[in-house]
Amino acid sequence: MLAFFINTAAASRPDRIPALTDKILSISRRTRSTPFTRRVEAAGVKGYTVYNHMLLPTFFESNEADYWHLCREVQVWDVSCERQIEVKGPDSERLIQLMTPRDISKAVIGQGLYAPLCDENGGLINDPVLIKFAKDDWWVSIADSDVRLWARGLAHGFGLDVRIREAAIWPLAVQGPKAEELVTRVFGPEVPGIRFFRSKMLEFRGKQMMVMRSGYSKQGGFEIYLNDAELAEPLWDELFEQGSDLNVRAGGPNLIERIESGLLSYGNDMTFHNNPFECGLDAFMDLDADIESMSLEALRAIRGRHEHQLMGLVFDQPMLFGSFDIEAGNRIVGDIRSQVWSSRHLKHLAMVMMKRDFLADNTSVMVNGTMARIVDLPFDFGTIS
């Protein structure tokens, strides 16, 4: 199977990577497909990226057309690449807590918690959704890095009684303002009662699967954690049949929507070299809690002293960046991590890792001769006009 690779991942760096247009992405077993890939292909996917060594559709019509459709209607996304690292056994909660500075002790069964994973220096390993699936059974719904290897190393080093594996689960997201209507038609009247980041076990073709109100957009929606590959195409087909009058389409995490909404992307906006303070993830840490977490000591020492901050840049015109380094006074004061033109707001938006000392006395910066305002994330379009 071959697919066209078009460089819509605006987060790649044109200053370091030659233009990647109209290239072919050679797909093999390493570039894992999903139980939905046949349907994704039939729906006319035009772009893929590779995430957790698995295909992730990026767009179908165009980034922009997909964006407007997502904000008005309902889309079905193959996000199987949000792999579930299952940590099971008597020490599972201890291992999960070691990996994250967020206090997980009060989580209830079926709850999801967005949480940074940090190493002993406070460096970001990943930013998954942690799911307490059952007692002594946690799922780490990972972003794009090899968490399983790290978790297994920790389990061995700490001598923990856990079993760690990548589970046979393939999440399918249903996102957009009409998502609740569509998921209710397929999974029944219990769907509207599911609260944000909570889930219910609901039935499809005689099989119980987790349905959570979550997803990588701010347009509302659900994620269906498919646990039977045989049911992938029946589930996809049912969503499209039931959603035909809702104008349902295939989609994927949308670059424009997620930047406007301030949703971070591991590997783009932040890496192993960043800590959660720099990324504005403070609300997802409990640094004063009495918990056993391997990053707590380092994070407490860094608190308030971190050197960078992920900020928004707002340009009044479309930008083509020759370099993604931001310079001022003959030094580099920031680097662009993700950027896109917003045709809704008629602004070019960028997420930029800025030097905090520069931020102390600057609220704007010149980039390629164009002035940009520096704003906090997430973007507040009430004040950006």
Question: Please, how many CA atoms are within 13 Å of residue 2, restricted to the half-sphere of its CB?
Answer: 4
Nearer to ligand THG, 223 or 260 (CB): 223
Nearer to ligand THG, 223 or 257 (CB): 223
Closest approach of ligand THG to the CB of residue 372, in Å? 23
Least CB distance to ligand THG at residue 137 (A): 16
The distance from CA 350 to its chain's CA centroid, rounded to whole angstroms, is 17
Which of 375, 357, 374 lies closest to 366, judged by CA? 374
Q: Which residue type occupies 335?
A: D
The contact set with ligand THG (CB under 6 A) reads 82, 114, 127-129, 141-143, 171, 197, 214-216, 223, 263-264
Measure the CA–CA gap between 92 and 366, rounded to whole angstroms: 49
Closest C-alpha to 138, from 84, 80, 199? 84
Closer residue to ligand THG, CB minimum distance, 176 or 215: 215
**258-261 contacts: CB < 8 A, separation 24 or more?**
258/216, 258/217, 259/338, 259/339, 259/340, 259/342, 259/349, 259/351, 259/379, 260/342, 260/344, 260/345, 260/349, 260/379, 260/381, 261/217, 261/218, 261/378
Q: Quick one: 45 or 142, whose CB is closer to ligand THG?
A: 142
- Look at residue 16 and give its three-state secondary structure: coil
Task: Go through the chain and tell me how many residues it has.
Answer: 385
Instruction: Pick the closer one to ligand THG by CB: 129 or 353.
Output: 129
Report, in Å, the least distance between residue 260 CB and ligand THG.
Answer: 13
* Shortest distance in whole angstroms from residue 52 CB to ligand THG: 9
Shortest distance in whole angstroms from residue 333 CB to ligand THG: 26
Return the C-alpha torsion angle 324, 370, 327, 364, nearest 10: -110
Spatial distance between the Cα atoms of 116 and 130, rounded to a whole number of angstroms? 9
3-class DSSP state of 188:
coil
Smallest distance, ligand THG to C-beta of residue 223, A: 5
CB 126, min distance to ligand THG, A? 8
Alpha carbon distance 378, 36 (integer Å): 32
Residue 276, φ and ψ in degrees, nearest 5 = -65, -25
If the CB atoms of residues 215 and 251 are measured against ligand THG, the closer one turns out to be: 215
Q: Closest CB to ligand THG among 211 and 239?
A: 211
CB closer to ligand THG, 284 vs 321: 284
Q: How far is the CB of 249 from ligand THG (least distance, A)?
A: 19
Cβ proximity to ligand THG, 225 vs 324, nearer residue:
225
List, as one string, the DSSP characters of 202-262: EEETTEEEEEEB--SSSS-EEEEEE--GGGHHHHHHHHHHHTGGGT-EEE---HHHHHHTT
Question: What are the distances in angstroms from CA 207 to CA 181, 201, 210, 325?
Answer: 21, 9, 10, 51
Residues 270, 264: contact at Cβ < 8 Å? yes
Residue closer to ligand THG by CB (options 141, 219) is: 141
Q: How far is the CB of 140 from ligand THG (least distance, A)?
A: 9
Cα 250 from Cα 65, distance rounded (Å):
12
Cβ-contact 95, 162 below 8 angstroms: yes
In whole angstroms, the minimum distance from the beta carbon of 13 to ligand THG comes to 21
